[in-house]
Chain A
Amino acid sequence: MFDDIGNLMHGFSVVMQPHNIVLMVVGIVLGVIVGVLPGLGGANGVAILLPLTFSMSPTSAIIMLSCIYWGALFGGAITSILFNIPGEPWSVATTFDGYPMAQQGRAGEALTAAFTSSFVGALFAVIMITLVAPLVASFALRFGPAEIFSVYFLAFCSFVGLSKEPPFKTVASMMIGFALGAVGLDQMTGQLRLTFGFETLLGGFDFLIAVIGLFGIGEILLTMEEGLSFRGKSAKIDLKIVVQTWKQLPRYWMLSLRSCLIGCWMGISPAGATPASFMSYGIAKRISKRGHNFGKGEIEGVIAPETAAHAAGTAALLPMLALGVPGSPTAAVLLGGLLIWGLQPGPLLFVEQTEFVWGLIASMYMGNIVGLIVVLTCVPLFAAILRIPFSVIAPIILVLCAIGAYTVNNNTFDVVMMLVFGVVGYFMKKANYPLAPMVLAIVLGDKAEESFRQSLLGSQGNLGVFFSNWLVGTVMTLGLIALFWPIIQNGLARVRGSIGSARPVQ
C-alpha cells in the first residue's frame, strides 16, 4: 500500500515534466475537438492518433492518448447542451435536461454543472482505480490460462446480457469480430488460416483499421443521412456563473455519490459509459423530489448522467490495466496501443512497468484537472467548431481517417479496408448490431483463443477445467448468468406476470 503511494508520487513527478504537460494539454484539446465533432469519437480519435505516438516513450504516449479520451468525455457534453446533438453516445442523456437549460438561457450553468460533475465522477473513479487496481492485479497474478479465459468469457458474456441490442445480434457481431481476429497467422501452431490464398490477408485484420472504419466512416455516413444542420445556443460562461453554480453543487452530494457508484460499477463491466449515464438519469428521476421537472431543464438531470458517464469511462480503464480486459472500445484501443508499444497488458504490468502504470494513473488525476480548466475557459471556441458546416468538416474528417488508417502499417490497402469497414459499420448500425463487442473481439480474439487452447491443452480437451476450482467456476458461472440474462429476465417477468395476473396484460 505504501509502496503504491510512493509509486504514485513518482508517477506525478513523471507527469509533471514540462513536455508531458504539453502533451497533456494537446491531448485534452484534441480530445474535446474529437468529442465535439460528429464522426470522430473517443475510440476513433485515439485510433487515428495512435500511430503518431509510435516514436514516443510509452509513458508520454499513454499520457497523450488517455488525455484525448478525457477530452472526448468532456467534449460530448458541449454539443449535447448547446446543440442538442450528443457528440458521443454517453452524452445522449445529458441532452434531456441540458438543452432545455440552454434554451432558457442557462447554458453557462448547465455547462459548468456538466463539466464539474464529469470531473467529480472521474476523480472518484481514479481514486477507486488507485486503491483497487494494484490489489486486483496482484490477485490476478496467480491466474492460470483457465482463469484468464474465464475473465474474457465474463467480459464478452456481459455484452450479451447488458446491451440493449437483441442478444443474437450482439452474439453475431461479437463472433464476426473473433473470426476477423483469427485471420492470418495462428500464434500457437504458426499455421496460416482463413487467408484463402490472399496475400493481403496474411497479416490479418488490424483492429485500428476496423475502429477507424466502423466508428469514423460509419458515423459520417449516418450523420450525412440524417442531414444534420447545427443550430446551437450561444455559450456564455464567465467566472460569476461558474462560482454561482459551484455554490449550489454541494447540495447534490448524494446524487453525485450515487451516480459515481453507478458509473464505477457499470464502467468495470464492458457495458460502459452509455448505459451508466441512462441508468443514473433514470434512477435520479425516480428518486429526486423534483423528478417531475426532469426533462424541462433540471440541473440534477445534467449532474446525474455526466457524473456516471465520466466515472464509467474512467473506471473502464481498471480492468484494462489490472486484467488486460478493456471495459470500453476506447479502452480497447488504448490496450492495442500497449501491445504496439511492446507492453504486455495485464497484471504483470504492475510488476514490470511500474513507471508506466503509475504515470498513467497520475496522468488521470492531472488530465482531469487540466481538462476541467481547459473546457471551462474555452467552451465558446469549441462551440465555434461546430458552426463550421458539415460539408467542410466531413471531407476533412474523411482525410484524417484515411491518414490514420494509412499510418497504422504504412499500407494504402488498409485505407481501402477502412472504407469497407465504414460501409459495413453503417449497415450494422442501421440494422441494430452493436459495434463495440466486434471491436473488442478483434482486439482480444487472439488472447482469448490462446488462453482457451492452453487450458484445454492442460486438461487434455476436458471442458471441466473451466469449473475445476471455485475461482474459475464462479467467474464462468457469472459469465453464463450474464449470457443468459435476457432469458432469465424474461422468465422472471413471466413468473411475476403470472402472480399478478389480475393486472391486464398489454
Chain B
Amino acid sequence: MSESAHETGGTGPSHRSVEAGVAVAAGILGAITVIGSLRVGIGWGDEGPKAGFFPFYIGLIIVFSSVVNLVQLFAAANNNAVFASWGQIHKVLSVVVPTAIYVAIIPYSGIYVASALLIGLFMIWLGKYRAIVAVPTAIAVPIFFFVTFERWFLVPLPKGPLEKLLGF
C-alpha cells in the first residue's frame, strides 16, 4: 500500500537495496548474539542450561530468518520501487539531525534549554514561522513542562547552567 505511493515520488534509493540492508543488519545482530552467547557458554552447567543457552538459539533463528528474507527479496521480481524520494529523505533527515544534536546537548545544557532551542529552531526553519511567534512558544512550552514535571509530579529532569543560575 505504502510502496505504491512512493513509486511516483521521484528518484531515490531503491526499496530493494534498503530492505536488503535491513535484512543484513538483522543478520549481523543475530551473529553478534550467537558470538556473545558462545562466550558465556551455551551448554548444560551445574544449575541447568547456561546463560548463553537461550540467546544462542535466538541468534541462530535471527540469522536463519534474515537469510530467508534476503533470498525471498532477490527471488521476487524487482519492481524498481523507490524507498523514499530524495525530497522525502531530506525531510526525514531534517528531523533526525536536529534531534540528534538535541539529544547530544541535553547532558550539558539541561533538557529545558535544549528543548527551547529545538522547538524554536524547528518552527523557524521547517515551519517558516517568524521569530515573534516561534520564540515565545519555544520558551513557554519548556516552562509548562517544568511546572508539570518538577512541581506537580515531582520528577526531576536534567538541568544545566541556566537553571543553576536561576537557583533550581
Contacts and interface: CB of A to CB of B under 8 A. Distances in A.
Nearest to B122: A395
B99 interface: yes
B130 interface: no
B96 A456 contact: no
Contacts of A406: 106, 111, 157-158
Interface size grouping (class) on chain B? 35 or more
Given A225-B92, A395-B118, A453-B54, A431 B72 contact: no
B127 A389 contact: yes
Nearest to B94: A224
Interface of B, secondary structure class, is helix
A499 to B, nearest CB: 28
A480 interface: no
B157 A407 contact: yes
B30 A175 contact: yes
A427 B22 contact: yes
Given A427-B18, A430-B83, A193 B37 contact: yes
A415 B155 contact: no
Contacts of B154: 55
Contact of A392 (B37, B58, B94, B123): B123
A374 interface: no
A391 B122 CA distance: 7
Nearest to A53: B153
A175 B58 contact: yes
A226 B73 CA distance: 25
B155 A51 contact: yes
Interface stretch (A111-119, A182-190, A257-265, A297-305): A182-190
A412 B103 CA distance: 8
Contacts, number: 185
A495 interface: no
Contacts of B88: 225-227
Contacts of A194: 32-33, 36-37, 40, 55
B100 interface: yes
Contact of B49 (A182, A225, A410, A457): A457
A227 B65 contact: no
Contact of A394 (B22, B89, B95, B156): B95
A171 B65 contact: yes
B145 A399 contact: yes
Interface in B9-47: 18-19, 21-23, 26, 29-30, 32-33, 36-37, 39-40, 44-45, 47
A224 B145 CA distance: 24
Interface of A: 51-52, 55, 166, 168-169, 171-172, 175-176, 178-179, 182, 186, 188-189, 191-196, 217, 220-221, 224-227, 389, 391-392, 394-396, 398-399, 402-403, 406-407, 410, 412, 415-416, 418-419, 422-423, 426-428, 430-433, 449, 452-454, 456-457, 461
Instruction: Enumerate the 9 nearest inter-chain pairs by beta-carbon distance, A residue then B residue, closest first.
Output: A391-B127, A457-B48, A194-B36, A186-B51, A395-B122, A191-B51, A172-B65, A182-B55, A431-B22
6 contacts: A51-B155, A168-B68, A191-B51, A193-B40, A225-B84, A225-B89
